[in-house]
Structure 1
Amino acid sequence: MNLELIWVLGLLLAAVILFVIDKPRMDVVALLVIVALPLTGVLSIQQTLAGFSDPSVVLIAALFVIGAGLVRTGIAYRLGDWLVDKAGSSETRLLVLLMLCVAGLGSVMSSTGVVAIFIPVVLGVAARLRIAPGRLMMPLAFAGLISGMLTLVATPPNMVVHAELLRAGLEGFDFFSFTPIGLAVLGLGIAYMLATRHWLQRSDARDESGAPRLTLADLAQAYRLEGRERRLRVRADSPLANQALNELELRKEYGINVIAVERQRKFRTLLLVATGNSVLEPGDILLVDLASPAIGLLGAYQALGLEPMPLPNSYFSVHAHQLGLAEVALPPESQLPGKTIQELGFRTLHKLNVVGLRRHGQALEGVLVDEKLKPSDTLLVAGEWKAIHRLQGLSRDFLVLSLPAEVDEVAPAARKAPYALLSLAVMVVLMVSGLVPNVMAALIGCLLMGAFRCIDLDSAYRAIHWPTLVLIVGMLPFALALQQTGGIDLAVHGLVAVLGEAGPYVILASLFAVTALIGLFISNTATAVLMAPVAIATAQALDASPYPFAMIVALAASSAFMTPISSPVNTLVLGPGRYRFGDFVKVGVPFTLIVMLVSVLMVPWLMPLHP
């Protein structure tokens, strides 16, 4: 062992210790590594900084942008809505569906990209169901890693091992060679995360913002909107058909306040926020706020030609990406106290509806249009989010007190959703077909997102999580440093010497363990490059089939569950899940042992050791 190797191993140990104690930040540790390696002469500056041009780093940056485009167009949140709708209030069902969706998508595209796309989805779902993000973020990462065990193209290590078989003059793996083992691991992974999720919620993992933010449901409850919401369809014979709302005076005459209109157009439903000039059409579904829940019992629906429609959930939660609520106060310099709500002309001037009023902390009920405002009153207004944001600029007469947490889920480019899906589909097809390298496919997807205006340049740059990229770039040079100083060769020769006389199952388990341990410190692709030749040579020395040995290396390279730096997938969820280094060790090490046991048992069964 030479001095340079001792120095590299010492630097690697120091970095791991700093990662464990979490001081300083991981990206700062990575920068220290970038500085230390060339100063010692182990690597040149060009070699150390090569990670900044590494295709995998560029790929990850591009996938951040793709994910942001899906968020800005509302696709990510619609997927979250689907998960919530299918899961209901069951966290168990949500976790199962989440892991199945991520693993399925990750089997045909980059798992890092899938996880990056799902992070905002999971954060939004966790906020709505009031679940700690940590209970879902690690299952998200584990599902992304397991997806690499489902198909040949799911992850680069699979392709590396496949290519090594071809170089040895052998036939490579089929597209679905990995699938039976991957499905078994996925099933065990779901069961394991269901059993261990209580480990992932620490008592000190508080939201950095302090107290929980108000939600639409909280505001609706505070102003007693619950029970007053209705969906009413305009019949063809209704006297309201083809009439403008400001001519009907529904609120004053019947206590019916029309908030928005659902209108069917070809293959989609439009949501139109009601204004005084809104003209109702036959077949429109009105989203209304009643002054009293008893209004429908008084024959008003029949007289107006309205038909009640099902409303399983609050329409504010169903249309939260477009329709919002905000609490508004009257500042001391306001000129509005003494005026009635009718005189304010909110619907005409601000395109917002006043749906609630609180005085001295108590919500008033009944028809409010003729209620005179007092300085201490607060109003609840409903309308499009952009109209609410405009109201924030009118500081003289209005003070927007609070915006619900759902404002973070507003999709500013919702109309571009089909183009975002098209861009994503082009990227996936290019990745699956192999027509261009993955990084080129991702960059093409980014350019399409920009060309279709799903995302702008400023949003694209903000979407990239630079600390994650710096961490990955800082750890990449270790693989080259270990190679140049002889560390890898030393480990390989030792492994062959020790295991030469052992049984095949012991050798398979040892190959898995060594591959997984090396993968703690260098990328799983680099690990596969180093270990695949060793696995095939070991099989040939034992006069055994090389396929189970090659397969075990590929599976172990994807089993990067043990630390947050084992894989970019883990690093991505580290911050959003508010995890510490030890959280991955506590949950990941036992699961890695489970995967090793399953692999050692199933691989020889599917691929006999002796042809």
Structure 2
Amino acid sequence: MDSVIPALPDGHGIAVLLLIIVALFIFTRDEIPLETSSLLVLVALTVGFTLFPYQYKGEEVDPLGLFHGFGHEALIAVCALMVAGQGLVRTGALEPIGRMLARFWAVSPLFSLLLTLVLGAFLSAFINNVPIVVLLLPILVSVAIRTGKPVSGMLMPMGFATLVGGMGTTIGTSTNLLVIAVAADLGMRHFQMFDFFFPAAIAAGVAILYLWLVAPRILPERAASLNDRSPRLFTAQLHIEEEGFADGRTLSELQEKVGGSLDISAIRRGDTLIMPLPDAALKAGDRLRVCDTPENLTEFASALDAALFAGDTRVDDENPLRADDQQIAEIVVTQGSFLEGSTLAYARLAERYHMLILALHRPGTTLQTLSTDLGNMRLKVGDVLLVQSSQEQIASLKQNAELLVLDATSDLPHTQRAPLALTIMASIVAVAALGLVPIAISAVAGVLLMILTRCLRWQDVVQALSVPVIMIVVASLALGMALLKTGGADYLAELFVALASGASPSVMLSSLMLIMAILTNIVSNNAAAVIGTPIAFSISQQLGLPPEPYVLAVLFGANMSYATPMAYKTNLLVMSAGGYRFSDFMRVGIPLTVIVWLVLSWLLPRLYGLG
């Protein structure tokens, strides 16, 4: 085999290759929203080809064609399936599965863990794994609290099981849909829904055995991220005493006295309410409505010479502050939630649900509590809010499918439309699996049925659509097209073949899959998949071999998002709920990646006759 290093592509090809390097870098930067970096890439491509025209096979590349991703069937299918999955969440269609698993856990925890992993993997082959993880998280947290076992031994295996299960069908993940659509655009036959189910099922079976028998034993015990890390807040009254410090002073003077940390929500003077403005002058007999920890409230009362009351009872050693009906709960920000991408001030969470926001935990950062201005922090998938409210309010929160509440008594939403939503989702899958219509059409039709039958509202549709996912898909498709039309894909394929000179086709396939597996844990899996697909196609052409196994190597490799928490959004969800560290994902995820990679590296060459 010729091992000569290929010549570099022309100026346009080099520019696209450099842009890909820049894109893969900025996609990983938390300070730049993913939708912003995706738009930047899209603008760079379209403006670049407008200012510097380029011809491909005698025809000028139309910059407007780089926007085709917005109307691409893969994006339409991804969005429609996200919305349909939201219909299952809103109606509680998966609730019977949750109830069944909860009952099994009370009988046999070891067998129940296996059943949970298998069901999670199976469901994720047909439904986006985010609602599956959202369904199982409160169940497993509840089981851990009841049994006294660490939740860290359950959540990560469950999350990874949904990832390995998603490899099994064309609709299992958005990555699968993109790879298949891009490969079809390149001229390859269109994969049917179960065309690669066999190798994926074998790999998933081996992976689940590892996640069942090995992963819980090598995971260290972790406490939940927010348990007992932030104190409860109490609402009380400070009564202004005659000739005390506060008598005759303004609120700004009181704030200066206590260091600006006094949270006064109302002033009552007799039967009159006074706005708590900085220049409001106080008089003896005024009552200030305040909210803080018991320790801080006691310090405020002492510093201001005020009396602290809870209701009509004066607070002292014999009558401490009590909150018998108050509960603390953890709310996880999930994909599609109205909290995603919003701030607490804008979402008005505390006002809408009559709760106190005690703290915010973000994976990989330290806990932030009242002393920090949480109101203006933009929330991300995986963030966990520690809130306090009444038992009744917490119970109603758990019935709201827009919020994922973690505690020991989590109730799952269920409505009379749940069977209908499940039937529509099954029909979407069945019609596409039988080849009657493409998945993009069946999914859009299913969404319409869910709206017409009121399984979904239009505001649910808006919440289900993820702008970052849409933008990364469009930008990745544009990058893939530019890479192909400037000769960049051919150059990278020639370079790969040259560097692997003397290696067998099966070793090349295995190497390509490993490269994709590494890349997907660093950057977006969709970006890695769309960029890798034309390269895989070019490699197969240069080797004179069928493209299917090499395209599948990209598909499977881009799905191996196990080694880092940022590799996939469900990793962030389980990281927060289980209190995991970055090193825990590497401890369990790297061996899992190696296992799945080795199994598929052995299977694919034999299934496709590569030796």
Q: What TM-score results when the alignment is normalised by the length of structure 1?
A: 0.56
Q: Does 1:115 align with 2:140?
A: no
| 1:152-231 mapped onto 2 (5 Å cutoff) | 155-156=176-177, 178-194=196-212, 195-196=214-215, 206-207=225-226, 211=230
2:556 corresponds to 1:558: yes
Contact 1:30–1:474 (8 Å) recurs in 2: yes
Q: Which residue of 2 aligns with 1:524?
A: 529
SS in 2 for 1:86: helix
- The answer to whether the 8 A contact 2:98-2:135 is kept is yes
1:77 counterpart = 2:61: no
Matched to 1:465, the amino acid is S
1:129 aligns with 2:143: yes
Is the 8 Å Cα contact of residues 74 and 410 (structure 1) preserved in structure 2?
Answer: no
Shift in alpha-carbon separation, 1:480–1:456, aligned structure 2, 3 A:
same
Aligned to 1:67: 85
Deviation at 1:451, TM superposition (A): 1.5
- What is the CA–CA distance in structure 2 between the aligned matches of 1:439 and 1:567, rounded to whole Å? 30
Query: Matched residues in 2 for 1:435 and 1:38: separation?
Result: 36
Residues 25 and 564 from structure 1, CA distance in 2 versus in 1: closer, same or farther, beyond 3 angstroms?
farther
1:103/1:147 contact within 8 Å kept: yes
Superposed counterparts of 1:501-520, under 5 Å: 501-513=502-514, 516=517
Say which SS state the counterpart of residue 12 (structure 1) adopts: helix
SS at match of 1:22: coil
Structure 1 residues 379 and 20, CA gap change in structure 2 (3 angstroms):
closer
Question: Does the 8 Å CA contact 1:516/1:557 hold for their aligned counterparts?
Answer: no
1:487 aligns with 2:501: no
Shift of 1:185: 1.2
| TM-score normalized with structure 2 length | 0.56
Shift of 1:211: 4.9
Query: Hey, what does 2:22 align to over in structure 1?
Result: 14
Deviation of the 1:181 alpha carbon? 2.9
Greater RCO, CA 8 A, separation 6+: 2
For the pair 1:410 / 2:399, whether they are aligned, the reply is yes
Rg larger for: 1
For residues 393-436 of structure 1, give each alpha carbon's deviation from its aligned partner in whole angstroms, at most 9, with x where no partner exists: 9xxxxx98344655333267612122212222221222212222
**Which consecutive residues of structure 1, in runs of 5 or more, have no partner in the other structure?**
215-329, 334-358, 362-374, 381-391, 394-398, 541-545
Match of 2:599 in 1: 598
Give the secondary-structure state (helix, strand or coil) at the position aligned to 2:390.
strand
- Residues in 2 aligned to 1:173 and 1:65: alpha-carbon distance in whole angstroms: 23
Contact 2:575 2:581 in 1 (8 A): no
Partners of 1:44 and 1:406 in 2: CA distance: 56
Map residues 89-488 of structure 1 onto 2, 5 A cutoff.
Answer: 93=111, 95-107=113-125, 109=126, 113-129=127-143, 139=157, 142-147=160-165, 149-150=167-168, 155-156=176-177, 178-194=196-212, 195-196=214-215, 206-207=225-226, 211=230, 332=311, 401-403=390-392, 405-410=394-399, 414-488=415-489
CA distance in structure 1 between the aligned counterparts of 2:466 and 2:583, rounded to whole angstroms: 23
Per the TM alignment, residue 199 of structure 1 is displaced from its structure 2 partner at its CA by: 8.4
* Residue 488 of structure 1, CA deviation: 0.8
8 A contact 2:516–2:558 mirrored in 1: no
In structure 1, C-alpha distance between the alignment counterparts of 2:501 and 2:533, rounded to whole Å? 21
1:38-71 per-position Cα deviation (integer Å, ceiling 9, x unaligned) = 3444797634544333333333332332222222
Once the two structures are superposed, residues 487-523 of structure 1 have per-residue CA deviations (whole angstroms, 9 ceiling, x without a partner) of 2110112233344533354334334345656776635
Q: Give the superposition deviation at 1:120.
A: 2.1
Match of 2:251 in 1: none
C-alpha distance in 2, partners of 1:188/1:23?
38
Check 1:379–1:529 CA distance in 2 against 1; reply closer, same or farther (3 A cut).
closer
Q: Deviations over 1:525-584 (max 9, x none)?
A: 6644542463365255xxxxx5xx733541442222455999999245545644999887
Structure 1 residue 453: Cα displacement: 1.4
Amino acid at match of 2:20: L
Q: Distance in 2 between matches of 1:474 and 1:167?
A: 22
Q: Secondary structure at the match of 1:75?
A: coil
* Count of residue pairs brought into register by the alignment: 429
- CA distance 1:3–1:379, change in 2 (3 Å): closer
For 1:577 and 1:514, how far apart are their aligned partners in 2?
A: 25
User: 1:90 offset after TM fit, Å?
Assistant: 7.2
Q: Which amino acid in the other structure matches residue 428 of structure 1?
A: V
Distance 1:56 1:572, change over 3 A: farther
Question: Partners of 1:33 and 1:582 in 2: how far apart?
Answer: 32
Provide the C-alpha distance between the structure 2 equivalents of 1:447 and 1:460, rounded to a whole number of angstroms: 10
Change (3 A) 1:360 1:552: farther
Q: 1:602 is matched by which residue type in structure 2?
A: L
Structure 1 match to 2:40: 32
The structural deviation recorded for 1:204 is 10
Give the fraction of aligned pairs with identical amino acids, expressed as a percent. Answer: 27
